[in-house]
Structure formats: C-alpha cells, structure tokens
Chain A
Amino acid sequence: EDQVTQSPEALRLQEGESSSLNCSYTVSGLRGLFWYRQDPGKGPEFLFTLYSAGEEKEKERLKATLTKKESFLHITAPKPEDSATYLCAVWSGSNTGKLIFGQGTTLQVKP
C-alpha cells in the first residue's frame, strides 16, 4: 500500500534559522513527488514536482530534493511569511493517478 510520512509534525524556527522537512514514502513505482504549501483557511498551493532520484528544484528560500525513499524540503534563512503547513504527496504507478498526501509539517517562523 502506498504510504507517505512527513516529519516533524510541527517545527518552530527563528527567523534566519535554516532547517529541513522530511517526507518518507513507500510506493509501487514512483511517478512523481509533489510539495505544496497550505496557509490556514486556504487550499494547497503548488510548489514543486520531483520525478527521479537526484533531482533538485529551488524557489526563493525553498529547495526540494529527492532520493529513492524520501524527499527533503530545505528552508534557508526563513522569514515569518514562510510560516505555513507544507504537504508532500506522491503519485505512483499502482493507482489511477491520484495523489497520496502526507500529514503535513506545520512550520512557524518567529521574527
């Protein structure tokens, strides 16, 4: 069964304190791994898609990396506006194309 686990559940950082969020997955043939950002009361906002191990993508202070078993979302010198819940999702070859989401990591960045 496809499974996605994110850690930690919650993370508190001081502004400028870099860290990483983890997404571990077990799927039958990974076709894509997705990162989303979700602000309270809003729908998830697409950040990145990673397709193969070794792939990396960057956007402002965020950098996503992928291995055969996990993905990391690195946040460099975060700002308070980076505070949100970050969701990881996988698309595998074993289903009809639906995404399986992790529980999310809620990030709080204090000034």
Chain B
Amino acid sequence: SAVISQKPSRDICQRGTSLTIQCQVDSQVTMMFWYRQQPGQSLTLIATANQGSEATYESGFVIDKFPISRPNLTFSTLTVSNMSPEDSSIYLCSVRTGGNEKLFFGSGTQLSVL
C-alpha cells in the first residue's frame, strides 16, 4: 500500500485565480494520477504524471488549464489555472503500486470557486 498526503484539504478561491495542489507519497512510484470528482459525479481522470516526462492529458483536459509537475518519484503538483465556478470539485491524487492496477488515493482537495 501507499500513504498519500495531499494538501490543501480544502480551499475557497476567487474566480480568475490559480490554486496549486500538492501530492506527497511515502514511497517511490512510477505513475501518479490526478482525478477530478465533480459534485454528485464519479471520478474522471485528468492526467497521468510520469517522472521525467510530460504529463499525459485525457480528452477534455489541457495543460494550460491544468499544468502538472512531477519533479521526483514521490511528489507531484496539479495547478488549476484561471479558475471559474465550474472548476469547483474534489481533486484527487492517486498512485499505482505493486505492479498491478490497484490505485491508492489521497484524501482529496475540496475546491470551491466563487
């Protein structure tokens, strides 16, 4: 298993500003994932972050809006840029360990945009 620390746990932001979410893992992992969970919805993958390469974004998500950093094997950040109320969601960091597809999740960042 993996212990994932994510911060901030929640934030209230003004329209047009940006927020950077941090994800720290207690072990080295190759792949880290960022998910979004909109109110009443399930989880949608935003992007996959591999250390040493550019993040891979899913359809509907672009780097200018959700830039991602992955400086080492235990840390990643997701920035939500130029926020609007539609960005109000829970953002979740997850990692894959053990050579299989079992994902472990952080506790999430509850973002509200006014």
A101 proximity list for chain B (CB < 8 A): 42-44
Beta-carbon contacts under 8 Å, A10-55 to B? 31-32, 34, 36, 41-46, 49
User: Which B residue's beta carbon lies closest to that of A103?
Assistant: B42
B108 proximity list for chain A (CB < 8 A): 41-43
Beta-carbon contacts under 8 Å, B31-69 to A? 31, 33, 41-45, 48, 56, 58
Classify chain B's interface size: 20 to 34
In the bound complex, do residue B104 and residue A46 qualify as a contact, i.e. CB atoms below 8 Å apart?
yes
Q: Please judge, given known A-B contacts A31-B101, A43-B107, A49-B102, whether A87 and B48 are in contact too, CB under 8 Å.
A: no
**A77 part of interface (Cβ distance < 8 Å):** no
User: Which B residue's beta carbon lies closest to that of A97?
Assistant: B101
User: Which A residue's beta carbon lies closest to that of B47?
Assistant: A98
**B105 part of interface (Cβ distance < 8 Å):** yes
A31 proximity list for chain B (CB < 8 A): 101
**B12 part of interface (Cβ distance < 8 Å):** no
**B92 part of interface (Cβ distance < 8 Å):** yes
B96 proximity list for chain A (CB < 8 A): 97
Partner of B105, one of A44, A49, A96, A98: A44
**A99 part of interface (Cβ distance < 8 Å):** yes
Contact digits for B84-102, partner A, Cβ 8 Å, 1 yes 0 no: 0000000010101000111
A97 proximity list for chain B (CB < 8 A): 31, 96, 101
Contacts A31-B101, A34-B103 known; list 18 others, CB within 8 Å.
A32-B100, A41-B107, A41-B108, A43-B6, A43-B94, A43-B105, A44-B92, A44-B105, A45-B105, A46-B102, A87-B42, A89-B43, A91-B101, A96-B56, A97-B96, A98-B33, A101-B42, A103-B42
